[in-house]
């Protein structure tokens, strides 16, 4: 457990950097562009971000699984993922273009649409290849793939949005720079360029796509629960309401960085664990510790939401504080789900989450259609929280069945829960 906690701290530094870079970027575009233009950005980017779940085909997760279990060699997997990447990039860009031009009101400016599409190939390439680092348990290398792009996006946002005042176009250009840089780095420094080949090894490709597609569909339903509000707001409301919602959601989303910090470690170690039951018990121990931290931070965000939103984004975003308050309860549940779900995903059982997420998605769609026309961003936030709670309560039930643990045992605190942290702190002091 000590090694587990050390890895968590390692990823934590990376996640902290991502939060800081993302937060500063968000503040810049909020204050320079205003709610309406932020709404346009949110409406434009929802489809590319959502399509990362579909286009990725769960390749990172399947790569981690097959490499961690030593089913295929590293060279075999590298060749397979570069070949899969080529075809999924074409598919993702074309379908995403169709969805944006046909379904989004913000797609009238085709230049903005093209700029929003350009990061997709680079983001997919980074996602695919980062699974190699996870499968080899190379957490430091994986961290670099995650924190370098947000730093570059921040720098380019300052240049193109603040200094050159290129408006929405400037921010979309900035979003291209981060993924493109890390892709070139992976391509040459990590020698992924040597993995491109016209010889297809279907014995590797088919199992990866078969398992990966299950990860992708599961991730799609999880992403839909998070992104659907923006899509329906774009249809039924205004850019202003979409902008207000996006900023409230973005602050609440930083709370999810805590489980995301744990997710990498849980998934990687679950994939290479020899005793699944014992590892799941450790995950539940981690869940109990993390829930205390998340609940504490959620309470602070709730009490100080007005002050935090206005301080960060300005007075014109004050309504985003109400969005944040309504979202926090659902985000609290979602953060616990993300920890447990990575355990099942690492065991090669990502489909379990779909049993919970599909009913949650139905609740989300129904409530959004009824609430958004009258209540706008606040209605969308309420719909999200309710759907999260429904989905995650169902997931707790399914997780307990798979791991043969009672739900009350999953959340029952023990004196030994915090002992690994205490031991680690003692070692750091000595």
Residue among 201, 208, 86, 84 nearest 135 (CA): 208
Query: For 116-146, how does the pLDDT look when each residue is reduced to its tens digit (9 = 90+)?
Result: 999 999 999 988 888 787 777 777 777 788 8
pLDDT value, residue 263: 55
Q: How many Å apart are CA 360 and CA 295, to the nearest integer?
A: 22
Q: How many Å apart are CA 48 and CA 51, to the nearest integer?
A: 5
CA angle 279, 285, 287 (to 5 degrees): 105
Segments of the chain with pLDDT less than 50 = 2
Helix and strand numbers, DSSP H then E, in the chain = 16, 0
Q: How far, in whole angstroms, is CA 43 from its chain's centroid?
A: 17
Tokens of 18: 């991502």
pTM of the model: 0.84
pLDDT value, residue 60: 78
Number of independent structural domains in the chain: 1
pLDDT value, residue 9: 62
23: containing domain: 2-429
pLDDT value, residue 26: 95
């Amino acid at each position: 457990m000590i090694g587990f906690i050390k890895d968590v701290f390692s990823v934590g530094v990376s996640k902290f950097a991502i939060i800081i870079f993302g937060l500063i970027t968000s503040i810049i575009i909020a204050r320079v562009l205003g709610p309406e233009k932020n709404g346009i950005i949110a409406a434009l980017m929802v489809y590319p971000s959502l399509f990362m779940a579909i286009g990725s085909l769960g390749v990172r997760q399947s790569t981690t699984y097959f490499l961690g279990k030593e089913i295929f060699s590293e060279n075999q997997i590298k060749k397979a993922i570069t070949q899969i990447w080529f075809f999924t990039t074409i598919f993702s860009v074309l379908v995403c273009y169709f969805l944006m031009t046909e379904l989004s009101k913000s797609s009238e400016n085709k230049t903005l649409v093209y700029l929003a599409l350009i990061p997709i190939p680079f983001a997919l390439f980074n996602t695919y290849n980062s699974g190699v680092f996870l499968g080899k348990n190379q957490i430091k290398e994986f961290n670099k793939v995650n924190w370098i792009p947000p730093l570059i996006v921040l720098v380019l946002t300052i240049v193109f949005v603040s200094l050159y005042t290129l408006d929405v176009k400037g921010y979309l250009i900035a979003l291209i720079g981060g993924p493109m840089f890390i892709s070139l780095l992976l391509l040459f420094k990590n020698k992924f360029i040597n993995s491109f080949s016209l010889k297809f090894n279907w014995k590797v490709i088919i199992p990866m796509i078969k398992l990966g597609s299950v990860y992708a569909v599961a991730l799609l339903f999880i992403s839909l629960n998070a992104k659907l509000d923006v899509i329906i707001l774009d249809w039924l409301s205004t850019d202003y309401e979409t902008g207000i919602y996006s900023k409230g959601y973005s602050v609440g989303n930083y709370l999810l960085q805590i489980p995301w910090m744990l997710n990498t470690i849980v998934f990687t170690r679950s994939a290479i664990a020899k005793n699944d039951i014992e590892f799941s018990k450790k995950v539940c121990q981690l869940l109990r510790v993390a829930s205390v931290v998340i609940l504490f931070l959620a309470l602070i965000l709730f009490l100080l939401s007005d002050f935090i939103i206005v301080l960060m984004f300005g007075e014109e975003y004050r309504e985003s504080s109400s969005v944040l308050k309504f979202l926090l309860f659902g985000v609290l549940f979602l953060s616990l789900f993300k920890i447990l779900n990575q355990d099942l995903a690492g065991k090669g059982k990502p489909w379990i989450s779909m049993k919970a997420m599909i009913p949650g998605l139905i609740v989300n769609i129904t409530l959004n259609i009824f609430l958004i026309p009258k209540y706008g961003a606040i209605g969308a936030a309420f719909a999200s929280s309710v759907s999260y709670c429904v989905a995650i309560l169902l997931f707790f039930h399914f997780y307990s069945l798979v791991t043969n643990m009672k739900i009350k045992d999953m959340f029952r605190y023990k004196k030994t829960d915090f002992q690994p942290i205490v031991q680690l702190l003692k070692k750091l002091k000595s």
